[in-house]
Amino acid sequence: MGFEMGIESVGIEWQTDTKPVDYQDAVDAMERRVAAIRARGSAELVWLLEHPPLYTAGTSARAEDLLDPYRLPIYRTGRGGRYTYHGPGQRIAYVMLDLRQRGKDARCYVHQLEEWVILTLSCFGVTGERREGRVGIWVQRPGAREEKVAAIGVRVRQWVTYHGLALNVDPELDHYRGIVPCGIADHGVTSLAHLGIDATMAEVDLALRETFLAAFADAHICAAGVVER
């Protein structure tokens, strides 16, 4: 009860979909909500969902990073970044926040998204880390191999955010073979399941909710020097 009261106190609505949501339908819904938040007619929103298997191409997507154009549907999207995969077993968190109330600092916002993933992973005993020059959250595997466990891609329109992050819980990792994920060919992709963590989506959702305020309360984690990269 205490946590629910905390969420209400900052005026953020949470929505969870239990069935995969069509990608274009999700984008259209985000566009409408962003417009409503900009007009100060709606609360900020964190939307937890999954998508059917698909690839998305961000604003920096390169043709050579699409290795198998016939494997899955491809959607062009306005978020930052290159190609990424979405599908069942991956927890998508679309985050619609009003940065006019949060310091108008897009770099800080991305840092907070990263912090949110790191704190969530820690609930399952996994150490997630940032890497210089690489967006997303990474884990160190035996033999010095680094693998990506969460992707981040955001868009900010008139200081209201949308899109967000994708945390691999137990997706079909073979689908990543159709792209160079986020344009990074030298490192692998992993998931909680691949790391030996038997976590349900409901458990991941609970961890996301429990760590949200610690990651996004004020901008203390973006103090001078913290986000210099």
pLDDT in tens, 124-148: 999 999 988 778 899 987 776 889 9
Under DSSP, the state recorded for 60 is T
DSSP string computed for 91-109: EEEEEE-BGGGTTS-HHHH
* Annotated catalytic residue within 108, 123, 182, 222: 182
Of 213, 218, 219, the closest CA to residue 7 belongs to 213
Domains of the chain, earliest start first: 2-217 (3.30.930.10)
Least confident of 5-19, 48-62, 70-84, 108-122: 5-19
Q: Provide the phi-psi class of 163: left if phi over 0, else alpha when psi is between -120 and 50, else beta.
A: left
Overall pTM surpassing 0.75 (yes/no): yes
Out of 98-112, 138-152, 207-221, give the one with best mean pLDDT: 98-112
Is 123 annotated as catalytic?
Answer: no
Which pLDDT does position 123 carry in this prediction?
A: 97
Helix (H) or strand (E) holding 39: none
Rounded average pLDDT over 51-63 = 88
For 6-27, what is each residue's pLDDT tens digit?
A: 343 357 999 999 999 999 999 9
Helix (H, G, I), strand (E, B) or coil at 51: coil
| 76 bridge partner residues | 57
Helix (H, G, I), strand (E, B) or coil at 65: helix
Which pLDDT does position 7 carry in this prediction?
A: 40
Residue 152 near residue 120 (C-beta atoms within 8 A): no
CA-derived radius of gyration, the chain: 17
Residue 175 near residue 87 (C-beta atoms within 8 A): yes
Residue 11 near residue 45 (C-beta atoms within 8 A): no
In the chain, the percentage of residues whose pLDDT exceeds 70 is 87
Integer CA distances (angstroms), 218 to 27, 32, 138, 200, in order: 27, 26, 25, 30
| 153 bridge partner residues | 164
DSSP string computed for 114-146: HHHHHHHHHTTT---EEETTEEEEEEEPGGG-E
Rounded average pLDDT over 70-78 = 89
Mean pLDDT of the chain: 87
Rounded to whole angstroms, the Cα distance separating 4 from 7 reads 5
229 or 15, greater pLDDT: 15
Q: How far apart are the first and last CA of the chain?
A: 38
Which pLDDT does position 25 carry in this prediction?
A: 97
DSSP string computed for 144-208: G-EEEEEEEEEEEETTEEEEEEEEESS--GGGGGGB-GGG--SSEE--TTTTT----HHHHHHHH
